[in-house]
Amino acid sequence: MDVRSDVVRDRVRSVASGRSGERPAQPEPPVSGAFTLEGLLRCRGCGCGCGCGTSLQPVRMLGHRAYRGPCGCRLTAVDAEDIEKLVLEAVAAPAPGLVADAAPEELGGIFRRLFVAVRVGGCAQDLSIVWRL
């Protein structure tokens, strides 16, 4: 294929400008119960100190689970597996019995009983947990 051809050049321009007539890829709807931090995960801001507190929404993007903020503070979604693992470790460290025998679908309920919120900053590791205790 000759990339110098008018047809190829016009197609590249239309795709780049969003005029191709194709809808942009939308996140896939989440699978019910697959997101253990749904309703708990909040935006703590991007590191600039804004800390808006908006609830991050569960989405599936390119086959991966993620949490996305509608607030505009964060440019990328938070990987659900990463953040959920970090939160699980935070619970298991001081009280392993709380989650040791819990099935994955039970973790959301356990987290809701333990936390008021989980706030995440610019990356999954930048988190703070607001405990109910």
| Averaged pLDDT for residues 84-105 | 89
**What's CA 58's distance to the chain center, in Å?**
6
Condensed to tens digits (0 to 9), the pLDDT of residues 4-57 reads 445 544 554 544 444 444 444 444 444 444 799 999 999 886 555 556 788 999
Residue 78 resides in a domain:
yes
How many structural domains does the chain have? 1
Out of 4-8, 51-55, 62-66, 123-127, least confident range: 4-8
24 vs 113: which has the higher pLDDT = 113
Residue 79 resides in a domain:
yes
Residue 109 resides in a domain:
yes
Residue 6 resides in a domain:
no
Domain that holds residue 76: 26-131
